[in-house]
Amino acid sequence: MNAHHINLEFMYLKAPVQAMYPGINIKIYNSASEISLPVDPKYFHAGQALHGSVYFRLLDDAAYFAVCSIVEDVFVVTSSFHIDLLRPVHTGTLTAKGKVLHVSKNVFLAESILTDNRGRKIALGKGSFMRSQLNFENVKGYEKRN
């Protein structure tokens, strides 16, 4: 793992939104990432299963950080994202694995797979990501760590 990946992991875990997702964890590799989250009933909809927003969050973040792993100068933004929900979730720990599919000058395609602790596919995601004009040096939480 290189310093950029460590900086990204720190930035992710220190983002204010993470207060709503205790226990979330991230590992970043070259062109790939892995995010895990223990299921908690506070994420359930009225039907007592995991709300789709949590599926989206994990899938988007995994694909997004796979792309970020190879873009070291500027912040990346999601331009579009599609998910397929395959089964409901009630317990366990979820893991989203993202990987880069295509790289061009400013646009990147990545996909992600969400699995449960039994290894079953829970949801699939695929997105487009773009380079922004915001340099990482100006992103809160992205400090140089070696």
Domain boundaries, the chain: 3-138
Q: How many CA atoms lie within 13 A of 108 on its CB side?
A: 25
Tens of pLDDT, residues 79-136: 999 999 999 999 999 999 999 999 999 899 999 999 999 999 999 999 999 999 999 8
CATH 3.20.20.70 given to domain 3-138:
no
Residue type, 71: V
Of 144, 143, 75, 138, nearest to 106 by C-alpha is 75
Number of H helices, E strands in the chain: 2, 6
Tens of pLDDT, residues 61-81: 999 999 999 999 999 999 999
d(CA 100, CA 117): 23
Whole-model pTM: value is 0.94
Q: What are phi and psi of 3, to 5 degrees?
A: -60, -35
Q: What are phi and psi of 59, to 5 degrees?
A: -65, -45
Strand segments (E) across the chain: 25-29, 32-38, 74-85, 93-103, 107-115, 121-135
- The residues pairing with 128 across neighbouring beta strands, listed in sequence order, are 80, 109
